[in-house]
Every structure is written in structure tokens, then in C-alpha cells.
Amino acid sequence: MIIKRWLKSKIIESLKDNRITIIYGARQVGKTTLVKQITEEFNGKYLLCEEPDVNEALTKKTSTEMKFFFGDHKLIILDEAQSIENIGLSLKIIHDTYPDIKIIATGSSSFDLMSKISEPLTGRNIPFMLYPISYQEYSESIGHIESKRLLKERILYGMYPHIINSNDIKRDLKILSSDYLLRDVLRIDQVRKPIILEKLVKLLALQSGSEVSFQEIAQKLEVSRGLVMDYVRLLEQAFIIFRLPPLAKNPRDEITRFEKVFFYDTGIRNALIDTFTTLENRQDSGQLFENFFISERMKQYQRFENEPKPHFWRTKNQSEIDLVEEYHDKLDAFECKINSKKSIKTRAWNNSYPNYKVKSVSLDTIFEIITTDK
């Protein structure tokens, strides 16, 4: 099944700009498929930078040597560009010497590619983030009726392209989570305690949707809080997790210290804790449902005219709202209850923010919310 990616049109539009296009995203989210489609449409040249001959041709080379390697193509795709030593400097040289050549570079980990291009390409690049398939893209491809029927399956197994098309989902999810995603983190120099990292990511999976005390996690792992935070940032930069800060407009009454941690993909989260029990038969169904909803909203933000700042909200009296989207002139609030028959508690929120009503998100209402551009 080929699923049309909404970001494709934005990337094509960026080629009109006199800057290099950078596409970030975890391994297997569909970056290669996307850039190969663009390559074909624009008669570009696709280069996988992990190939030894490509790597050699672009490492420590002059602009003339690189131009000879590119040939007459006006669009060059550099897939997994972080594999090239000093790629930022090479891209700067090509950009400045041959401004008529359009370049798209992809990277599977921002700590690799971003660190290599940030200084040389300041003001010379347009970054994009490619997430796993959004439910809106999924629904537009297979039809609304069928995608509604498959909602519980996708909450359980996630939205990676290969997993959606897999004939052995559980096996492929375990391979994806260990061999591809964690590989990007484990191979970098900063990870001197890989066992600690693996234990950490599993602890975070068990606590997804809950407020996280990184000090408590450090004590459980018997390491410093600083090491835990270093590894958390690496997991973020590998696009495995993201943190949700609290909304704290009234510090006297609202929690300001703790954050929540979510996974970009619920299938990866379930693979890490090795639990694929159906939603009806698992104790963490509420956590899983909340993670799925919030990660889908993160994907939707790319379509919004004004991208909000996401938060959760909690008072010192334990009143809570799962997701609050902060715009410059308003707040949108959402409370997740997988069972629509269970009422949501909004009195504390209504007292604090009477102008902004809370939207209830359940299995009955989530589809409409995550398949619109609002």
C-alpha cells in the first residue's frame, strides 16, 4: 500500500527557495520512499550516502569534484547525509558555488546531521520533520470507513509504513524498535552505558502519559540524574520520544516542575515493553490511548496555519487535562477517556480558564479530531 505523504507538497514547494532542504525523521518513517518519488518527478539524482563509493565521492572533495560526480542533474538527493564526514561544509560549498543545484538532504538522527550542518548552513537550509504515517494520511489513502474499522489495530501496532504493510507485525515491530531505532542512539560516542539506555527507554515506555521524575528514574537505574537527562535528550533527537511540559500560567496553583514523556509511535512503545494485548484486555489502555492521540496531534500541527505549543495541565490538587494547545490568542483543551461513557472532570479547568471548553476524546470521537486540519 502506497500512502500519500502530505509533507511531499511542502518539500516540493521548498525547492523554489534558494536554500537546501533538510528532512529529519527516524529510520523507516518513509524518508527514502518520499525522496525517491521526488527524484523521479524532477529527474533528480538519488544518492545513498551510506554507500562506500558515494561516501568517498563526497568526503573532503572540492566543489569541482562534487559537481563532476553530480553530473548535469539540477536536483540532488543525499539520503542519510549524516554519514558524510563534514557534510555541512560540503553542502555549503556546493550551495555557494552552484546555486542553481537544488539539494535535499535527509537524516535519521538530528544529533548527527544537525550538529554537522548547524554552523556551516546557518540561514542556508529549510528543515522539515517527517513523522510516521499520520492517521489523516492513512484515512485519506484507504478510505474513512476502513480506517475507522482499523483504529484499534493502529493504536496497538502504530503507524510506521512497514508495520502497516507487514505480514508479521509483532516480529517486525521488535526488529524496528531494536535494530533500527535504538541502533542510532547506541552507536554514538556519548552512550557509554548501553544497558542503562535500554533500561531507561523501557522505564519511559511504562511511564508514558504519566508525570516523570527523572531523579527517581536515576535512583532506580543507580546512575546520576545528569546521565539520565543526557540519554533522554538523545532519545528525543533520535525521534523515539518527546516531552510534554506543563502549562503553568498560575504557578501558585499549577504544577510547574514535572514533564510527561510520550512516544512518537505507540507500536514502538508496545514493542519495548513486549505487550501487544488488545485494548479491551490491558491495564494501560488509557495511557496507550492518550499517547496515540497526542502523537497524532503532533503530526497534525504541520498542517495548521499556526502551530501551537502543546502542554498538559495539572493543579496541585491533582486536577488534570491531558493536552492543552497554546496559541497566541487562545487555548484548546482535550481530555482523553477511551470509554465515552465515562464523564470527564473539568470543573477545576473551567474555574481557571472559563473561556476555553474542554473537548472529550474517546474511541467514539477521536477519529473526527485526528483526521481534520483543525
* pLDDT tens sequence across 338-353: 988 888 999 999 999 9
In this predicted structure, what is the pLDDT of residue 257?
Answer: 82
- The pLDDT tens digits of the residues spanning 52-71 come to 999 999 999 999 999 999 99
DSSP reduced 3-state for 14:
helix
In this predicted structure, what is the pLDDT of residue 357?
Answer: 95
- Cα–Cα nearest to 128, from 276, 283, 307, 358: 307
Distance, CA of 48 to CA of 20 (rounded, Å): 17
The answer to whether residues 26 and 238 touch, using CB atoms and an 8 Å cutoff, is yes
In this predicted structure, what is the pLDDT of residue 182?
Answer: 66
DSSP reduced 3-state for 331:
strand
In this predicted structure, what is the pLDDT of residue 116?
Answer: 67
pTM score: 0.92
The answer for 30, left when phi > 0, alpha when psi is -120 to 50, beta otherwise, is left
Instruction: Indicate the range of 47-61, 101-115, 181-195, 315-329 predicted with least confidence.
Output: 181-195
Q: Grid coordinates in use for 146? A: 476502513
Is the pLDDT confidence value at 14 over 90? yes
DSSP reduced 3-state for 267:
helix
Query: How many C-beta atoms surround the C-beta of residue 141 within 10 A?
Result: 16
Q: Grid coordinates in use for 252? A: 501558585
In this predicted structure, what is the pLDDT of residue 325?
Answer: 97
Q: Grid coordinates in use for 133? A: 504515517
The answer to whether residues 73 and 100 touch, using CB atoms and an 8 Å cutoff, is no
* Angle (CA) 73 108 153, round 5°: 115
The answer to whether residues 71 and 24 touch, using CB atoms and an 8 Å cutoff, is no
The answer to whether residues 198 and 251 touch, using CB atoms and an 8 Å cutoff, is no
DSSP states along 149-200:
HTHHHHHHH---HHHHT-SSHHHHHHHIIIIIIHHHHHTSTT-S-HHHHHHH
Please say whether the dihedral angle defined by the alpha carbons of residues 261, 204, 150 and 33, taken in this order, is positive or negative. positive
CATH class of the domain at 135-370: mainly alpha
Distance, CA of 42 to CA of 34 (rounded, Å): 13
Mean pLDDT over the full length of the chain: 91
Is 135-370 the same fold as 7-129? Answer: no
In this predicted structure, what is the pLDDT of residue 110?
Answer: 63
| Mean pLDDT computed over 76-99 | 90
- Cα–Cα nearest to 95, from 7, 17, 39, 3: 17
The CATH number of the structural domain formed by 7-129 is 3.40.50.300
Task: Sketch the domain layout of the chain as residue ranges.
Answer: 7-129, 135-370
Is the pLDDT confidence value at 180 over 80? no
